[in-house]
Amino acid sequence: MRYYALHTNPLVSIVVPVYGTEQYLSKCVGSILAQTYSHIEIILVDDQSPDNCPKICDSFAERDSRVTVIHQENKGVSGARNAGMRCASGEYIMFVDSDDELYPDAVRLLLEDVEAYGADIVSAVKDVVLGDNSIKKISDDSTPVVYKGDEPLLLSLSGDRNTNSACAKLFCKRKIDGIFFEEGKSVNEDGFFVFQCYLRRPVLVQHNISVYRYNYREGSGSKQAFSDAYLAMLFFCEQKKKLVAAQLPQYINQAHNMEVRTGLQFLDLLCRTGDKKYKKLQSDCIKTVKKYYRYHRPVNSHHRSLARIVKCGLYPVYKIAFRLKYHL
């Protein structure tokens, strides 16, 4: 583990939206309080949690002056994060989900990259903790990569996996002032928040070092069966395209690549349902993939194959085969 002597001592605000996670909350907050960099404030936003989370939040605030608790009517994870951001007084801000944890050196490592590279945003990676407590780990890379100008935005448009989450990142609060999470949406809201931050042309350091433990839970928000919540994918894709067209039209072809990728992701999800109410959306996604196929830069071999299947008009066959395979 590298260790670098920080020359500054900025306050870091860590926002934790809390709802229905009483089994995990104490470990989450404990991991933040145990940071080797101690100049932090922890903002626990109780989003009208129906369990013992409100009491657990209050008990931490009673024991440690660095903890602040907000109790609010339920607004969803985006509303909770926004409330925490408005309350934050630190120079830098982080987000941690209440069923996840930070590694002890997380904040210090991120601040080291801020100092070393003059970063506005530092993006690290998450270890995925599976149900049997085994860890799916991305190999640590001791060489950070610096992106400047429009490069962070292009990284997002290309589908880089590190641009999809607001967690395992450190944001300069001044650089992202006025940007908030879209409330009322529960899928891809993180990615749209990060996208808007990258529109501001920050100095981004992307460092593949693990700072965050993401606890994979069956039934957690990102593991839902198909529902209307996934329509947010198409909504955010359209919002991103509009922003690119208005502010950076030279990158409209990269936005078309994003449209194809999002269409493919949505078509894959549609395989989970036979509900005919999604027939028009299915048709629209197929048209989008065909229209912008020439701009597609696949993120993996599956997308390469699926794009060809859709282009050749074989998606209905693909969907039937998928549903038969998984007995849907």
Classified as helix, coil or strand, 102 is: strand
Distance of alpha carbon 83 from alpha carbon 57, whole angstroms: 15
Pick the closest to residue 152 from 188, 120, 177 (CA basis): 120
Q: What is the pTM of this model?
A: 0.94
Per-residue pLDDT of the chain (328 residues; tens, 9 = 90+): 455 668 889 999 999 999 999 999 999 999 999 999 999 999 999 999 999 999 999 999 999 999 999 999 999 999 999 999 999 999 999 999 999 999 999 999 999 999 999 999 999 999 998 877 788 776 556 689 999 999 999 999 999 988 999 999 999 999 999 999 999 999 999 999 999 999 999 999 999 899 999 988 665 443 457 899 999 999 999 999 999 999 999 999 999 999 999 999 999 999 999 999 999 999 999 999 999 999 999 999 999 999 999 999 999 999 999 999 988 8
**What domains are there in the chain, each with its CATH number?**
12-222 (3.90.550.10), 225-325 (no CATH)
Would you state the pLDDT for residue 220?
46
